[in-house]
Chain A
Amino acid sequence: NAGVMQNPRHLVRRRGQEARLRCSPMKGHSHVYWYRQLPEEGLKFMVYLQKENIIDESGMPKERFSAEFPKEGPSILRIQQVVRGDSAAYFCASSRGLAGDGETQYFGPGTRLLVL
């Protein structure tokens, strides 16, 4: 009964590098959500994916950020050419069905990204 797994738990990057954050949903869950928590802020929705499909990316910055959830393997949040303002905690959640239809979102422990 493993929960939502995220790795790495901590990631340090220099400005201009790429960051790849991974999320393995709970077994049997096919819906994945990414949230970002900037310092002194609440978690904010970024993107909602189902297997091989991006359903809603309305919370994603328009440039440098992308997300995928392939048929096999974890969901990946990719940040290209990181800047200091990307430093934040990134949380992944998963649900069996569509959250909001009575399905609970289960969260991972987060990845803390620090950009130097």
Chain B
Amino acid sequence: GDSVTQMEGPVTLSEEAFLTINCTYTATGYPSLFWYVQYPGEGLQLLLKATKADDKGSNKGFEATYRKETTSFHLEKGSVQVSDSAVYFCALTSNSGGSNYKLTFGKGTLLTVNP
């Protein structure tokens, strides 16, 4: 079945540091890939997405590139801020089987950014 493996946390960085959170996936067909972010006490919010190979999703300074050859969708940001402290989830939907509404999530990575 479909699965997502993402970097174990927690990750602790200083403000303005470079961020990478690794994400790899296993899926049938041609999945769409997502990063969701959950700020303390809130629901998950879509951060960015990519729907086909070599697409780059970007938002709020974050970006991730859909790499089919390595089945990866790593999240990066050049300079993190304290306000980026949150839990980040990598996820996919698979377009095989007619149930492309089902999100399959990784376990989440807690990021803490210190001033």
Interfacial residues, chain A to chain B (CB-CB below 8 A): 3-4, 6, 31, 33, 35, 40-45, 48, 56, 58-59, 91, 93, 95, 98-101, 104-110
From B43-51, B54-62, B64-72, give the one contacting chain A. B43-51
CB distance from B57 to the nearest CB of A (A): 12
Q: Which of B43, B95, B102 contacts A107 (CB 8 A)?
A: B43
A42 and B89 contact, CB distance less than 8 A: yes
Chain B residue numbers with a CB within 8 Å of A99 are: 93, 100-101, 103
Interfacial residues, chain B to chain A (CB-CB below 8 A): 4, 32, 36, 41-46, 89, 91, 93, 95, 99-108
A100 and B101 contact, CB distance less than 8 A: yes
Q: Which of A3, A41, A43 contacts B103 (CB 8 A)?
A: A43
Q: Which of B43, B93, B102 contacts A106 (CB 8 A)?
A: B43
CB distance from B60 to the nearest CB of A (A): 16
Q: Which of B41, B42, B44, B102 contacts A45 (CB 8 A)?
A: B102
CA distance A91 to B42 in the complex (A): 11
Query: 6 other contacts beyond A43-B105, A101-B100, A108-B43, with CB at 8 A cut-off?
Result: A35-B103, A41-B107, A93-B44, A98-B101, A105-B103, A110-B43
